[in-house]
Structure 1
Amino acid sequence: MRRVWTMPVLFVLCGAAVATATAAGGDLGTAAVFLLGFVLLAVVHSPLVFPRPIGALEARRRSAEDGRPVVFWRPGCMYCLRLRFRLGRHASRVHWVDIWRDPQGAAAVRAANGGDETVPTVVVAGRPHVNPDPAWVRESAARPA
């Protein structure tokens, strides 16, 4: 659970250090911009931008009922972040499984990827797809069950 927040905390600490050094030089405006930029980076790389994750078993059960895709992801993954932002409003129509929180989700990803934890791995209709095109996932999420 703690490693999920490691990168965001490091961004905030680095931002605070850069802002402090800049403010000590007398440039408060630039210091504020630096701090704001690093805080935004921290938010973007945190789990806060993703819908609330669920466990792999629950995601599979829900997907079987409603036909929606299951996305296995981890915080800090740029490809996962790209997928999340490109899904836009359809992100809530997908079942999200954080593999750092759910060992069964991590095991499912390893099984689909020959032992590697390559994310995002998207499961649609029981078939895994590694780092698929976000437009295709959005289309799959938008389809009625």
Structure 2
Amino acid sequence: MRITIISVGKWRRGPNQDLFNTYTKRLSWEVRLLEIQEGAKLQVSQRKNQEGIKLISALPDKAKVVVLDQSGKAFTSVEFADNLRNWRDIGDRELAFIIGGADGLHRNVLEKANLILSLSSMTWPHMLVRAMLAEQLWRAASIINNHPYHRL
């Protein structure tokens, strides 16, 4: 399975990046991170539109699209793993996860989603969300492969 994480903003060296790298290196799945430049100093609606166009254009062809948004569906780690397993089993080999910027996502991005996923009803810094997603991907892979990382 190939996973593309498309996220607004550029890494700044630090613990969030280290944590992201720690978990993605553990995965047997190919993971790539595409960083979209934050929108220029525009009004929020214009910036979200500009970022949305870039996010959508970065989507891999035929990818199952998962958009991370506070309004999305919350899963347990096991339910998330079940979704990934089911997609894999029906032949979906390309997954794309979209993480918006500080102002959220344009509605056009949400409309592209096969799934809108919420990691929490709380608001998190989008750079931290990258690390949180990487950990949940590793946890899901562990669940799928009966690895002892995930304990009930």
TM-score interval, normalised by the smaller of the two chains:
under 0.3
Q: Whose relative contact order is higher, 1 or 2, with alpha carbons under 8 Å and at least 6 apart?
A: 2
> Which structure has the highest helix share of the two?
1
Structure-1-length-normalised TM-score: 0.28
State the TM-score, normalizing by the size of structure 2.
0.27
Which has the higher Rg, Structure 1 or Structure 2? 1
